[in-house]
């Protein structure tokens, strides 16, 4: 595996791309990063590597593409299984992790409703986002340090990219996620103390700056 060619097609603010970056960092895998700027246009390589959805992230391993972020993270965990396992060896625990990781995908649409909304639409958008976050906090995280227990794992990887967008949601929607979901925000801060995680994620303030400019250009402010 030492001489494997690993390329990641990604877009820096993507919470889905951040999943893959964190997984690669946790496994200490060296890779070539290729930015696909979704604002200015995709490269010809992206639709070639992902002809079905034409979306990032795409992991290209020895010339073979793997698409869809959770599929990619699980692939990484299987291929480089000797380092920092992300999924439990227990079938039930693996099934639970896959369930909650897939559930986190719902946050994308709810979060998008906030940063693309007019001020009159914020109230509904905030509730739509906070309800699944509260469910994740109560039903999946509880009092554990990480979603899988004592170790950083699959669900943590799935959700941590969204955590970097919390600042944007709060700034644009004028509300506090920490006030509503204190355990979840404490979890995010705990994850950020891991160098492999924090160095793999986009700057929350930079994300917010870009989205505020987007809103200004669309006349949403």
SS3 130: helix
Token representation of residue 96: 């639970």
Strand stretches in the chain, DSSP E: 6-10, 32-35, 58-61, 64-67
Q: Is the dihedral of CA 107, 113, 115, 120 positive or negative?
A: negative
Q: For residue 125, is pLDDT > 90?
A: no
Tokens 């799935």, located at residue: 158
Q: For residue 123, is pLDDT > 80?
A: no
Q: What percent of the chain has pLDDT over 90?
A: 87
Spatial contact of 107 and 129, defined as CB atoms under 8 Å apart = yes
Token representation of residue 181: 């979901």
Q: For residue 166, what pLDDT is reported?
A: 98
In a 13 Å sphere around the CA of 33, the CA atoms on its Cβ side amount to 15
Q: How confident is the model at residue 1 (pLDDT cuts 50, 70, 90)?
A: low
Phi-psi region of 55 (alpha: psi -120 to 50; beta: other; left: phi over 0): beta
Among 11-25, 63-77, 114-128, 142-156, which is the least confidently predicted range?
114-128
Q: For residue 41, is pLDDT > 90?
A: no
* Domains of the chain from N-terminus onward: 6-79 (3.40.30.10), 91-217 (1.20.1050.10)
Q: How confident is the model at residue 161 (pLDDT cuts 50, 70, 90)?
A: very high
Angle between helices 154-163 and 106-115 (to 10 degrees): 0
* CA distances from residue 151 to 21, 148, 155, 214 in whole angstroms, order as listed: 18, 6, 11, 37
Spatial contact of 15 and 165, defined as CB atoms under 8 Å apart = yes
The sheet with strand 6-10 has its strands ordered as 32-35, 6-10, 58-61, 64-67
SS3 35: strand
Q: For residue 2, what pLDDT is reported?
A: 66
Q: For residue 120, is pLDDT > 80?
A: no
Cis-peptide, bond into residue 57, ω within 30° of zero: yes
Between 121 and 44, whose confidence is greater?
Answer: 44
pLDDT in tens, 168-201: 999 999 999 999 999 999 999 999 999 999 999 9
Measure the CA–CA gap between 206 and 169, rounded to whole angstroms.
Answer: 13
* CA distances from residue 180 to 133, 166, 183, 209 in whole angstroms, order as listed: 9, 12, 9, 24
Phi-psi region of 68 (alpha: psi -120 to 50; beta: other; left: phi over 0): left
Q: For residue 7, what pLDDT is reported?
A: 98
């Amino acid at each position: 595996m030492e001489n494997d060619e690993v390329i990641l097609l990604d877009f820096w603010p993507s919470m889905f791309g951040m999943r893959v970056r964190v997984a690669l960092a946790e496994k200490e895998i060296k890779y070539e990063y290729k930015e696909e700027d979704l604002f200015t246009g995709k490269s010809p390589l992206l639709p070639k590597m992902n002809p079905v959805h034409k979306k990032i992230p795409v992991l290209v391993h020895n010339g073979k593409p793997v698409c869809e972020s959770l599929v990619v993270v699980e692939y990484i965990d299987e291929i480089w299984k000797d380092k920092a396992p992300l999924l439990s060896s227990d079938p039930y625990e693996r099934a639970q992790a896959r369930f909650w990781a897939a559930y986190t995908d719902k946050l994308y649409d709810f979060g998008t409703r906030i940063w693309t909304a007019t001020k009159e639409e914020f109230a509904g958008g905030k509730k739509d986002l906070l309800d699944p976050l509260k469910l994740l906090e109560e039903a999946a995280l509880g009092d554990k340090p990480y979603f899988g227990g004592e170790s950083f794992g699959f669900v943590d990887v799935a959700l941590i990219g969204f955590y970097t967008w919390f600042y944007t949601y709060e700034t644009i929607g004028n509300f506090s996620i920490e006030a509503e979901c204190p355990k979840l925000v404490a979890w995010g801060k705990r994850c950020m103390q891991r160098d492999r995680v924090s160095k793999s994620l986009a700057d929350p303030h930079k994300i917010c700056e870009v989205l505020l400019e987007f809103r200004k250009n669309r006349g949403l402010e």
